[in-house]
Amino acid sequence: MSQIGSFALLLALALSVYSFLAGLAALVRGGPSSERLGETARRAGIAVFAVVVLAGLVLVVAAFQNDFSIAYIYHHSNRDLPAPYKFATLWSGQEGSLLFWSLLLATYGLVLRLRYKTDVRLFAYASVVIAAVQVFFLLVLNFAANPFGVMQGSLPADGTGLNPLLQYPEMVIHPPMLYLGYVGFTVPFAFALAALAMRYPGEKWIHITRRWTMVTWGFLTCGIFLGAHWAYSVLGWGGYWGWDPVENASLMPWLTGTAFLHSVMMQEKRGMLKTWNMWLIFSTFMLSIFGTFLTRSGVVSSVHAFAQSSIGDWFVTFLALIFATCVLFYVKNHAHLRSEHKLESLVSRESSFVFNNLLLLVACFTVLWGTLFPVLSEWVTGTKVTVGAPFFNRVNIPVALLLLLLTALGPLLAWRKTSVESLKRNFMWPAIGALGTGVILTALGMRPWKDISYLYSLMTIMLSVLVGLTVISEFVRGGHVIRRHTGQNLFSSMLQLAHRNTRRYGGYIVHFGVIVIMIGFAGSAFNQEKEQEMGFGDKINIAGYTLVCRSYTQDYNPNYESEWAIFDVYRGDKQIGTLNPERRFYKASQQTSTIPATRSSARDDLYLVYEGQNPQTGRPIIRVHVNPLVMWIWVGVWTMIVGTVVALIPNAVPVRVVAPARMHAQPVGAGD
Amino acid sequence: MFPLIRNLKSRPAFKLSLLMLAILPLLGAGDQSARVSDLGHRMMCVCGCNQILLECNHVGCAYSERMRGELIAAVDRGDNDDLTLQWFVQKYGTTVMAAPTKTGFNRVAWITPYLALALGLTLVIFIIRAWRARPLALPPGAVLPVEGLELERFREQARKETET
């Protein structure tokens, strides 16, 4: 098995090198004679997909066949591991996850190379860039982190098993989603570099990459929040985001990718920010690679980073090469990126995008800075410091609040110029709604002056209401116009409106999802927790809930042994459910993990952790968290996904409205 | 703008509001469990789990339970926040603090993001000004953009024609 896998990786490397060199030679030589050479490069790129898939399959089959002669399988699987987790072995360790990176890149490359007729020359350039990235990953896989390395000495009877924390259903889909996001940014990067290298006229490359970027961004969003949900459901500390370096690594390209999705509209609509967009997508790709480096080099400590290894040097070299290539082509061809229009007014959609980009980049810089500061501090002063949640929250929350304000203002601003009167007119009712919300919440007992976190929480909810009302008013205003002309009901009119300009209204739905998530985050200021030793019949009261310990029980299966606590949950005198927090002991890895039990509602989550037994008294210890509004976060994520899907749907042909006597035919909902 | 602020400053109600804003954050201070919670969330568990002290959930963790006990003892003794945190730093090292202190080189950690924001804002304003001032690069044969009064006239016309 290992020989087939190793051979497949070598063959994939050879094909990638050929795809890169032949593709480059064809582009440099140009002319009809090089067309055949370019075609062989394209086909070699397609063949890379088949061979890397073979390598991936070999590893998965080895996991299912318990082939512990392969060191990677020995370290990340065992005989009694359930089938879905055996499949997940592919991305559970350093070497396998790099192979998975390469596999996804080959898949994206396949789609790109099959769609080459869209623009043969641009796609040929992009294909060369993708081949170069693929060469790097296959070099690492062949010479620094080979997943098919064999065990030395006698063949072990069983493997050491998969990390217990990874044995959770979401871990089967979270890494693929995240990697689809990371790897996917290679495609817009490849097109951007291709467009710069060939001095591509017009904005067609932006149109081509728009869907790629949105799909990639959508995957990264799903990956990040699946990771948050996994942390909440498995780690048992009652939270979903800990500002761990690995989490930060995924957030950074998401922030720059979000900035790109906004600013790219300025290039499409107004021919502006061409240089900025180019560097934004370059940075997003580099941050994806940097994140991969961060989690694999051991440069920063993290709960869920991969083991330290020497591959960090490979990534640093690769990053330096990418940066040098980007600078080289930029210096050579930057004159090509001159803006076609100038900014007319500070109060305009263009300005709001510029400030939106600034804030997103400052947030990204803060995350990067905080992640790397321990290294810098140790280097400068010789003393290592910790940069954790208090730092990131203190610095990033005000930036996030400003971003929310801009999210409310942005849709109300027109391209080129907006009159202050029109802004006032559109902004007044949402602003009154937001202020009214603040007054009501304060009257209901929210005390923003007692703690800065309460103040942030109140401001977040008020600004979210502001954004929500502007989004709703946009839908209602547009829906009314269509209703007047078509006679449909308002809801159908709003659906039709969204279908006419899916990108715009899909974007609004995404914004709506963001505010729902922000409201969920705001709830964390009011978290409560209690920890208590609990025997049969013991009670614990928290935030209006009463928990009564009914019993403890045990269970066994070939993979792990588990202990369960059974709790009856009461609200007042009424029993509202039963919760079973669990603690597992995995036999192969000899490790323990907790599986919290959660009762979710729109108001709060009741979250129970069975922490084990007190070594002194032998009594079970239960920790209870009441986390307000957490469900809103997951609902918000679904809303964002719906919005992204809506934005990907092609626009319906605008209905030509029958004009009254002095009106010309006007497509409603068109324009952004 | 400025006369409005001057007028406000002279009003007693405004002064009273400022005083209340200054005092309000102090209300409720001194509550022991709130202090333990606050301080416990400003420190890390040093067992290597990379978790905030009060969020470390490892039963039998060699550090977190002892550290929590030490924290409660310090608060019960009446030690102020600085003294308590300093005691932990001396015992467990600088990495016990969940965020850099605001002294020495660590100040750089806090200042830099705000500096980046200020620099970014300055740069954006500079760029926007430059954009507004610069001439356009028009392709040969292109028509000059409509601006000023003429533009306003067209906008007004468009508004009238599209009004229902």
| Position A63 pLDDT exceeds 80 | yes
Task: Give yes or no: residues B53 and B72 share one domain.
Answer: yes
Residues B108 and B66 in one domain: no
Are both B92 and B117 inside the same structural domain?
A: no
pLDDT of A87-128, one tens digit each? Answer: 888 988 888 999 999 999 999 999 999 988 888 889 999 999
Question: Using N-to-C axis directions, what is the helix angle for A389-409 and A452-486, rounded to 10°?
Answer: 30
Main-chain phi, psi angles of B91, to 5 degrees: -80, -45
Q: Answer whether residue A658 shows pLDDT above 60.
A: no
Say what the pLDDT of residue A303 is.
56
* CA separation for the pair B3, A358 (Å, rounded): 32
B107 and B90 housed in the same domain: no
ipTM (interface pTM) = 0.82
Domain boundary among the residues A316, A337, A358 is at A337
Instruction: For residue range A525-567, list pLDDT tens digits in order.
Output: 999 988 888 888 899 999 999 999 988 888 888 888 888 889 9
Whether B155 is covered by a domain: the verdict is no
CA dist., res. A388 & res. A637, Å (int): 25
How near does any CA of chain A get to the CA of B149, in Å?
Answer: 13
Burial class of residue A488 (count of CB atoms within 10 Å of its CB; 0-12, 13-18, 19+):
middle
- B143 part of a folded domain: no
CA distance A134 to chain B (A): 34
Chain B residues within 8 A of A295 when measuring between CB atoms: none
Contacts of A526 in chain B (CB under 8 A): none
Residues B16 and B35 in one domain: yes
Answer whether A450 sits within 8 Å of B25, measured CB to CB: yes
The distance of B39 to chain A (nearest Cα, Å) reads 11
* B62 and B32 both lie in a single domain: yes
Mutate to test the interface with A, among B37, B57, B92, B112 (most CBs of A within 10 A): B57
The reply to whether B53 and B18 lie within a common domain is yes
The answer to whether the Cβ–Cβ distance between B116 and A236 falls below 8 Å is: no
List the structure tokens of B15: 């002064």
Inter-chain CB proximity A303 and B120 less than 8 Å: no
Q: Is the pTM of this model over 0.95?
A: no
Look at chain B and report how many structural domains it folds into. Answer: 2
Provide the residue count of chain A.
672
Domain that holds residue B109: 102-132
Is B151 inside any structural domain? no
Residue A72 within a domain: yes
Contacts of residue B162 in chain A, CB cutoff 8 Å? 663, 666
| Contact call for B95 and A386, based on CB within 8 A | yes
In a domain, B73, yes or no: yes
The label of the residue with tokens 């890397």 reads A52
Among A257-271, A471-485, B51-65, whose mean pLDDT is lowest?
B51-65
pLDDT at residue A137 in the model? 95
Q: How far does chain B reach from its first CA to its final CA, in angstroms? A: 38
Is B81 in the same domain as B50? yes
**Residue B61 lies inside a defined structural domain of this protein:** yes
Residue A666: per-residue pLDDT: 41
Q: How far apart are CA B40 and CA B64, in angstroms?
A: 10
Is B82 in the same domain as B110?
no
CA distance A136 to A139: 5
Indicate whether B22 and B51 sit together in one domain: yes
Task: Report the alpha-carbon distance of residue A110 to residue A104 in Å, rounded.
Answer: 10
CATH number at B72 reads 1.10.8
CB contact under 8 A, A387 and B100: yes
Assigned domain for A444 exists? no
Among A235, A248, A280, A373, pick the best mutation site for testing chain B contact (most B Cβ within 10 A). Answer: A373
Give the domain range for residue A603.
530-631
Cα end-to-end span (Å), chain A: 55
Shortest Cα distance, chain B CAs vs residue A633, angstroms: 21
Ordered DSSP codes for A614-662: -TTT--EEEEEEEEETHHHHHHHHHHHHHHHHHHHSPPPPPPPPPPPTT
Instruction: Say how far apart CA A136 and CA A102 lie, in whole Å.
Output: 9
**With pLDDT > 70 as the criterion, what percentage of chain A qualifies?**
94
Concatenating the DSSP letter of every residue in A403-421 gives: HHHHHHHGGGSPSS---HH
Q: Assess whether B48 and B115 both reside in one domain.
A: no
Nearest residue, CB atoms, B98 vs list A386, A452, A660: A386
Most A CBs within 10 Å, among B117, B146, B163, to test the A interface: B117
Residue A423 lies in a domain: no
C-alpha A507: how far from its chain's center?
A: 17
Across the interface, whether the CB atoms of A666 and B164 are under 8 A apart is answered: no
The verdict on B43 and B109 lying in the same domain is no
Please tell me whether residue A395 adopts helix, strand or coil conformation. Answer: helix
Domains contained in chain A, number: 2
Q: pLDDT tens-digit profile of A407-429? A: 998 888 877 777 778 778 888 88
The closest CB to that of B50, out of A303, A339, A614, belongs to A303
pLDDT at B30 over 70: no
- Whether residue A381 and residue B105 make contact (CB cut-off 8 A), yes or no, is yes
Q: What is the spatial distance between Cα A329 and Cα A197, in angstroms, rounded to a whole number? A: 6
Report how many helices (DSSP H) and strands (DSSP E) chain A contains, helices first: 19, 10
Is the pLDDT assigned to residue A158 strictly greater than 90? no
Amino acid at A396: N
Return the pLDDT at B143.
58
Nearest by CB to A450, from B28, B50, B136: name it: B28
| DSSP class per residue in A572-608 | TTEEEEEE--EEEEETTTTEEEEE-EEEE-SSEEEEE
In-domain check, residue A659: no
> Would residue B64 count as lying in a domain?
yes
